[in-house]
Each structure stands twice: as C-alpha cells, then as structure tokens.
Structure 1
C-alpha cells in the first residue's frame, strides 16, 4: 500500500485553518470537480477550514472496457447483486487518504477537526476509510454512494468512530448507483449503531441546491470552532 501523497486542490476559507474537509471526487472526475462547492457555502459560519480535493490515481476500469481514468478503485461489474468493487483498490485508496489525514495532523489539524467527504466512488472511500480510522473524526459526508466491502466492516470497524456523525444523501432517480442499493448501505450502518442521517433528493447522479444547503448546515454542526 503506497503512502505517497496524492496531488490535491486546496482552498482555505481563512488563514491558519484549524479544521479540514478531505473531499474525494467520483469516477473519471478529478479534484477540481467539487472545488466550486466551497463558494456555495457560507464560510463565515465555519471555523477556518482547509478544503482538500485530492486527484485519484489513473487506473484501468473494467466496466469501461479497461479504459484508463481517474478512479479510486476498479469497478468489476455492473451487477449490484455481487461485489462490484476491487478490494485491493479500495484498501490502497484508503491508505492514500490516511496519508492526507496524517498531513493535516502535521499542519496542526487534529483528527477530531477533520471531515472525510466524497461523491460516488469518492464517497465509498470516505465511508470505508473513516469507519476504520483509528482516531475519532469530526464526521463523514457520503453523497450518491454506498458502503464498499460491507461484509468486512463488522470485523474491521474502529471503536474510535463508532459515534462519528454520518450524512448520507442520494438521488431518488440515480441510475448509476440505484437509490435502493444505497439505502441498504444506510440501513446496515444504522443497524450497526452509527449516528447516520439519510436524505434523498429529486435528482439523478448529482447534487442539487437543496442538498448543498443541507450539507452546509451539517458541516457547520460538525466542524465546531
């Protein structure tokens, strides 16, 4: 597992950030994809925060005919009835995100002031990494996504993040990751005792303004000054 730091886009809402949001993009996108969302937030309501948008490594993606693109892991199948994600890729990307958390620690931001966030594939990595992370995080933002390697969570989950708030949101008309499939992940996490909030929106595989406002309110709540 490589610990090499991923290249990132970074936005600081004010000098000397005390908090951080590490936000992973979806399949085939890059760190610039969610960069504009920071302008949609009332950053004055947040503590000084560094938004970190890493670029996933480029790798062949099986469902796209082996085409090389930025991806957090290979997607092996379109069939949601079987495992779709490449376990080695998920674990490798989680290690890369752990390295970014460690860098935030070195820059003076403790784990308890860090949110892991992501959309689609990026949200899957946010969930996987956060729930296994050894120190308590501020929260997990999981958008239009699902819980990868769900069958190993019970054995691998960290007690440190058993009470970490999770905001999980999904489009009702999502054809990429079906709403019902994502809801199963939410139900698994809820039944495991995680403090998880579940919101749905009239959108396909994307984000709408109402969702942005809900994300903003949630961030203000978990990123306490």
Structure 2
C-alpha cells in the first residue's frame, strides 16, 4: 500500500477525494489547496494524497524520483510506459478498496490527478467496473493509444463525469493533448467538462473555483 498524506474536513467523513500528484512531486504537493477548494455546506471529506513510488525516469537521464510511470520520450505518442501505468492503476485500486473498507464506497469517491497523476486517473477510470463519483484530470493526457483505451473500457465506466482543465501555454503537456484526451473520452461515451486557462503547466485560482463548482454538483447528489 502506498504511503499517503490525509486531511479530513470534518468528523466521520463520508466522501473521499483521492488525489495523485505529478512527476517528481509527492503527496504534500496539493494538500495546501484543500482550504481554497472546500465550500461551506459540503459533507465531511477525506482527502488522500498518495506518494508515487520512486523509480528511474528515462527522459531525466535515469534519475530516480517519484513517478507513476517511466517517461520514455518527449513525444506524447511514446511517452508513457504502459506497464508502469498498469502498476500504478493497481496501486490506486488498492487505495480505493481501502476507502471502501473504511466506510466510503466507490460511488462517494472522486479520483483526481495532475499531469502524470491525471494520466493515471484517466487510465483507472476507463477500467472501472464499479463507477466512481467522478474523475478530475488536470493538465494531462490519455497515456495510451485510442485502440487500447477502447479495449480497456468497461461499459459502466461511462457513467463517471469527468472534469478536465488545461493551460493554454502549457509547455510540458500541450493543450492539444488535453483537448485530444477530452475528445477521446467523449467519443467513448463520457460526459466531459473541459476548461482552459491562460497559464503554463500549473494550477490557478480560477481553475480551483471552477473545480469547486463542479464538485458542488457531485457532492449534493
């Protein structure tokens, strides 16, 4: 089981947001946004921020760092190590199962991720037989060819709403890759909300506010 950072917004939380960081970061990276994101009147939430495993990353000269999978090439078509993606999806599934054992079933769990973490969010979401409450994929891309995504898609997964956000000046994962991922998901039958912001490979205040609005609809169902 991956080590995690956890924050709870109230006693006995009945909802969970499982949030995956980007390359080279760790579970502490997005914890500071919790006070900015959470709105009054929401049910108590448990935020779970796991630390990715430490592994060599090819494009960084084999340097070992926290990564959800190896990045083999700058070219998005060949960037993701699919075996590494699958291993991280399995780690995420273990965390989802742990939340179920702690009283928060998948239908009250939202899976979120930034960059590499967002890629794992999308990969995990495609294969969910028991749908989650929603998928949040920020500044990211689909880490597999469309044919692979179609082969892995579970029919029930399509019911998961998806929030995506991307910077128009992103030099790491170009906006076109995020748009292509959103269009691919829509083609597979997902309801996708895609927002664009004048930023680079980052998160901005307007994005957090928009995400809060999207979450508001999920948490009040």
What range is the shorter-chain TM-score in?
Answer: over 0.9
1:168–1:199 Cα contact (<8 Å) kept: yes
Q: Show structure 1 runs of 5+ residues with no match.
A: none
* Gap regions ≥5 residues in structure 2: none
* CA positional deviation for 1:45: 3.1
In the alignment, is the contact (CA less than 8 A) between 2:162 and 2:192 conserved in 1? yes
Among 83, 86, 102, the residue aligned to 1:88? 83
31, 48, 51: which one pairs with 1:55?
A: 51
1:143 to 122, 126, 138: 138
Secondary structure at the aligned position of 2:31 is classed as coil
1:166 counterpart residue number: 162
Aligned length: 220
Alignment partners' CA distance in 1, 2:135 and 2:42: 16
Q: Give distance in 1, aligned partners of 2:145 and 2:19.
A: 21
Work out the CA distance in 2 between the residues paired with 1:27 and 1:45. 33
1:111 maps to 2:109: no
In structure 1, the residue matched to 2:182 is 186
1:128 aligns with 2:123: yes
Question: How many angstroms apart in 2 are the aligned matches of 1:43 and 1:104?
Answer: 22
Instruction: Tell me, yes or no, if structure 1 residue 99 matches structure 2 residue 94.
Output: yes
- Cα deviation, 1:63-95, whole Å, max 9, x if unaligned, reads 000000000000000123x32100110000000
Q: Can you list the C-alpha shifts for 1:120-176, whole angstroms capped at 9, x where unaligned? A: 000000111012112011000000001111331111111222121000110000000
Matched residue of 2:143: which SS?
A: coil
Q: Give the TM-score, by structure 2 length.
A: 0.97
Residue equivalent to 1:46:
42
Shift of 1:182: 1.6
Whether 1:202 aligns to 2:198 is yes
Work out whether 1:26 is the aligned partner of 2:22. Answer: yes
- 2: distance between equivalents of 1:71 and 1:42? 27
Q: Deviation string for 1:170-224 (max 9, x for gaps)?
A: 0000000001122111111112221001110000000111001001111111123
